[in-house]
A and B are shown apart, each in its own frame.
Chain A
Amino acid sequence: MMVGMTRAQRTLYSVLGLTGFLLFWELSLRSGLLPGSLVPLPSSIPGVLWLELLDGIWFDVVRSSLSHYSVGVLLGSTLGIAVGISAALLPRFNAAHAWLARLLRPIPPLAWIPFAIIWFGINPSAAAFIISIGVFWINYFASYSAVHSIDPGYDEVARAFGQQRFLARLTKVSLPAAAPGILSGMRAGLGQGWMTVVAAELFGIPGIGQRMMEASSLLATDIVVVYMLTIAALYATFDFLFMVVQRRLLRWQS
């Protein structure tokens, strides 16, 4: 944070920065400094969004993308958290899968596209699968290290108070103690999901990505920008909602 600025001043500068950028962009195009075929006029974006909304196209592609996204994120998070926690709690399982994880981990989600198409065909499952991969790894590592770094003293407390069973320790110590780490992993996964959603749809699965590809082949850069902003808005909304839930769940923290 900058010294000597009030919140209002910071907001003012932020607004100035953003409008200045848009104004510069608009004027560069109007003055011919930038060729109009490369970027759209900012002032044309609201109108184009309105048309996409009127046609119902916006709702259709957003609905499709949201369903790929939700399935992918849900799947990736659930599996990532489950495998991460198991690895941290069960030494044998951890040792058994450690090398496999090290081998698979560096493979970027998009490298799975060929297999996704072979296994699922060009359909929503393929997109969800690709999205789930990146989300999986983020949740896996976050959960593993969250559980791994729990103060062993808590486990001793559980044992001293008759909660030595695996299930009791899992629900009464491991999960709540690791919750801050697990939840930040989930939040990072929510962001990672949006990064892959467009790419996963580029090869013909209906959704925001496909619509952007279509638009770019027609040089409709204004439509491309509409959907870039759509993704930004969706990401911000999900992130905000999750943050509210996260705060609520972690209200015990100082």
Chain B
Amino acid sequence: MTSAAVLTTRFRARRRPTWALSTQVLLALVVLLLGTVFLGSVIAPYGATDGDPANRLLGFGSAGHLLGTDGQGRDILSRLILGTRLSLLTGIIPVLIAGTVGSAVGLCAGLASRLVNTLIMRTLDVFYSFPSILLAIGVAAALGPSIKNAIIALSIVLIPPVARIVEAEVVALRSAAFMKVAECSGASRFLIAVRHVVPNIRAPLVVYCTTLIGLSIVDAAGLSFLGLGASPPTAEWGLMLNDARNYFFRAPAVALAPALAILLVALLFNALGDRLRVELDVRQRGATP
């Protein structure tokens, strides 16, 4: 082989072929959601707090109010659009934080000695034994109601499950034959972690975190619903649901819009996670082109 050929030799795989249509559709929907976050104030027909007391509790399809109005005469569609920003923020930021901290903890625990591993994992189990929403409520209540504290509470709640997933993956990898070979080659624990462990846990981690976004959105809405997150009159889906509680028997439709928004977005991220599970698996890729 000539030296010129050696220099142009790539050891990385060529980029994967295009993703399946269903994955692309789900990704397009996520992009649409992000677009709503940034362009919300442009798209929304009314302001978040523009109330019209004369037009309270209008139903779906009313003139000028596609999704009707709430108990203070505010346009539900506008509040839904403007609430996307906070709801996505409280869904994604805790997952980013927990994803980083949790995988670092899980990686360390997985590669550590038995004693250190037991110490870390049993500590995490204490937190993990609470239902996520209960723990979030506890932490948020202790810190005081605010969006920032809700995000902190959710981050803390999500660290143990992420760490457990990563630790389980790492422990399973430890017995793999290629890890023994790497050890035999004289590689340091750090180099083995970076080169052999991380590439193997990256895909499951991304998949798991994507599905966690859905959970985080639901929990964040729950915190706001309980008055532990955003405070009125902010447009936020959980808060809108809380507001609708007062009129539930007179105008159940008011609750329907935010409830469906939470449900659908959570489902969207779950479905996306499921698709990524397939897409990120190198074994499902075709032969090199």
| A and B found bound together | no
